Structures are given as C-alpha cells and as structure tokens.
Amino acid sequence: MEDRGGHGRKERRSATRSKTFSSKYDFVKVRVELSSQHYYVLSRFLVSRMLTAARIRQAHALRIALDLKKRLVDRDILVISQKDMERELFWLMARLGYGMENIILYRKIAWFHHQRIPLILLVAGTACIGKSTIATQLAERLNLSNVVKTDVVYDLIQSIEKRKTPDPIWIRAARAKEPSVAAGRFDTAFRDIQLGLEGDLQKTLTDGKSIIIEGSLINHQLLDIIVEKRRKNIAQSAEDTAPGHEAASSKHKYHVSPDCAIVPILLTFEDTAMHRYLVDEWCLRNSPAWTTQVNGGDDDVSTNAIYKVMRQWQDDLLAENNRRLKDPLEQQQPFYTVSMDFDNMETTLNIIHQHVLDAIAELCQESDFVVDTQHLLSQDSPVKRLSDKAIDVSLAALASRLETSSSGHGYASEGVLLSRRPKDEDSDDSPQLQRGYVTVHEIDET
C-alpha cells in the first residue's frame, strides 16, 4: 500500500508539472505576418524568452505570453500582423506595471534578432569561480543555444594530437620549475584554443548565429582576434555593396548583418578563502594523484601550488585589462570586469545582462524605437472590444503614468494600483482576462 501511495503521489506531481507548463492554447496556431510574403507561428516560449531578455520577471513573462495567446485564440484571431501583435503585447505589459523602458528594450531585442546580428559573449576568468554556471544561466535568459567551453575544446585538441587525455593546464603549469616554462605552456594552450574556435567564430559571423564562449583559456589576444574579424567583415561587406562591384553569390536566402555585438566579460573572485576551498574540491574531484607527494616525484604537485597558479592567472588578466584602460590611444578593447558573488549570483547575472543590452543599444537608433513604441501604445488594442462606455485612461496615458511612477527596474511603484471595472455580459470567462477598462487609482495609505 505504501508503494502504491508513493506511486500515486508521483503521478499527481507529474500531472501538476504537465499542467503548469502546457496549455490547451498551445494546440492552436496563430500566424504573425511580417509582410505579404513572410510570417511565423506565434510561440509562447519564444515570446516569454524575449520578455525575459527585456528585463521582465520570468513569472510575469510566462503570464504575459499565455495571456497574449489566450486573447487571440478566444477571439478567433488566428492571423495578425506583427504591429498588432506587439501592440497587444505592450498593452499586457502595461497592465502588469511595466513602462516604456521595458517596451523599448523588447523592441530593440526584436530588431536585433530580425536583423540577424550575431552576439559574441566572452566569459573569461580563472578556474573554479563559476564561469560555467554564469554562462549557462545567461544562455537561458537570452535564449542562446550555442555555448562553447574552451576547456573542452582544449582537451579535445590535445586528445586528438597526443592520442590521450592530457592533464589540465593548471596541473602542468604548477609542475613547471620556472615561471617562463609555465608561461610557455599557457601560450601553447592559447594558440590551440584560437585554432579550435576558428570555425565557430567564422560560422557566427557568416550565419548570424550568436554564441557564448566561456572558460579559463580566454585572454585579451582572443578578444583582439574577434575584433579584427569583425572589422574585416564590415570592410568586406562595404566593398561588396559598393556601386559597380559585382558581389559573390551568397549561399544564404536571408540577410545577415556584417556587424556583430561583442561583449567581453572578465569574472573575478575576491574571496580567497572560498576560492581556495573550491580549488581543493576541484583537485579531489578530478584526481587525488595530483595532490599527493608521498613518493616525492617530479610529477607530484600540491593544491597550494595549483591555487597559486590560478590566482596568478587572474592577476595577469587584471593587469593587462588595467593597462588597456589606461592607454585608450592604442585602441585595444578591454574586458568588462565583473566581480563574482556566490551569495547573490542574481546580481552578477543582472550586471552582465545589462552589458549585453548596452551592446545591443549601441547598434540601434534610440529615437526610432521611442517614436514607434509611443505610436503603438497610443492606439487601442486590436483584440479589445469597445463598448459605449468611455475609456477612463487611454493606453498612451497609462504608459506615461507607469513610466513616471516606475522604479529603476521598470516595475510599478507601490503608490499606483491597476484595477478593472466589473465584467459585463460580453466579457471573457476568466476574471483576469475580462474585457473591461483600466483605471488608475491612488492607494490611500491612511
């Protein structure tokens, strides 16, 4: 009986999860028309990912995406234009208290993807500080599927060349008796990484697919190579589009932007005690033989020596980065330094996320998005049924009010409450989605 009860509880939990992540509206296709010849099928998942990238809370992003699909399907609107879809989406965002800042971010990200501009995000830093965790969570936020780990690329290259799995670079550097020998081993590893990433970088620039490259074997030289590839790609595109020049036929049926957004991040870890603990755990997890000195052989290294090599690599990266910041005339791009905080990893993610948004904003014309967004919000929702009653607050006034009353994160302040009038006979079945009108009330704090 106990086994049956446990099995029943598992089935109920599975059914609850299935009900949470799926909806009956997912079985109905809504076509969004970009033009008379191009369209795509609306996806709740992609809409929620786009909203998350625009600094919308994940729970709110899922709610907005579901409400959007529900409102369209319930009104039998199975074909809708891109502008009408966005106008309805922004109206739903405003209902949850998101102002013009988040709407403009969404439009910029959508434009960035439609232009097929690739994003190259580098996450550098020494070992055992959480780079892989940060890269994985960033990929989830930004909806990026291509994450390349330099440590895996290096191990693969070494195993092909030497027919065996090599020791990690930190072990071989710690075994070196002279600093010059350790530096030479690092230089060899960097050259192997640059050759191993050549194909991925070329595919990113030519196909317009974004990529996250993370690992300890990322240095400023790799950043310089990527910047130079970007410069050559833009110059080649300008030459191909020059008057009188016959460009070579492209294998792509779609347009790929010659430009790209490069976001180099250097993760640092200041808590030396915690870093030492993580290094010890890493050594014991991979192979205890690295940390033993029982026989006194030349190949035996201590965890203290490995830790010193890792800390020295962080110091070298920071020194080169500071040199580039002090000498702007050399026009060498530095990394954005971000301190890793294991107690509040969300803060670290938000800082890197903001650097990505800033890089996208540099490629956009700010005025175009502000004017266009205000034009969309000034009109009525395409799926909202109008009645004889007047609308208390127009969408444009609501967006303006939310913008002025919102906090720095784009959420409505506690002094403003959004409510809806009682539903009438023509309203939706769901109380949360009834076709009423939005009214802004001041909360009486007394």
CA angle, 425 then 427 then 433, to 5° = 155
pLDDT of residue 365: 66
pLDDT of residue 415: 32
Q: What share of the chain is helix, strand, coil (3-state, %, to 5)?
A: 55, 10, 35
Structural contact between residues 39 and 393, judged by C-beta atoms closer than 8 angstroms: no
Counting Cα atoms < 13 Å in the Cβ hemisphere of 61 gives 20
SS3 call for 267? strand
CATH architecture of 118-241+254-362: 3-Layer(aba) Sandwich (3.40)
What Å distances lie between residue 365 and 18, 36, 57, 165, 195, CA to CA? 42, 26, 26, 50, 36
pLDDT of residue 435: 32
Q: What is the distance between the alpha carbons of residues 269 and 279, in angstroms, rounded to a whole number?
A: 12
pLDDT of residue 52: 95
Q: Looking at residue 432, what DSSP letter applies? A: G
Alpha helices (H) along 197-271: 198-207, 220-240
pLDDT of residue 167: 80
Q: What is the distance between the alpha carbons of residues 387 and 372, in angstroms, rounded to a whole number?
A: 27
pTM for the model stands at: 0.75
Contacting residues for 388 by C-beta, under 8 A, at least 6 apart: none
Which pairs count as long-range contacts for 384-387, CB under 8 Å and 24+ apart, including other chains? 384/91, 384/435, 385/426, 385/435, 387/424, 387/426
Per-domain residue ranges of the chain:
22-113+367-442, 118-241+254-362
Q: pLDDT digits over 78-96, tens only?
A: 999 998 999 999 999 998 9
Joined tokens for residue 345: 């990893």
Structural contact between residues 369 and 104, judged by C-beta atoms closer than 8 angstroms: yes
Q: What is the distance between the alpha carbons of residues 124 and 218, in angstroms, rounded to a whole number?
A: 5
Neighbours of 331 (CB within 10 A): 8
The residue written with tokens 């109920």 in the block is: 12
Instruction: Spell out, as residue ranges, where the chain has pLDDT lower than 70.
Output: 1-22, 241-256, 287-300, 365-446
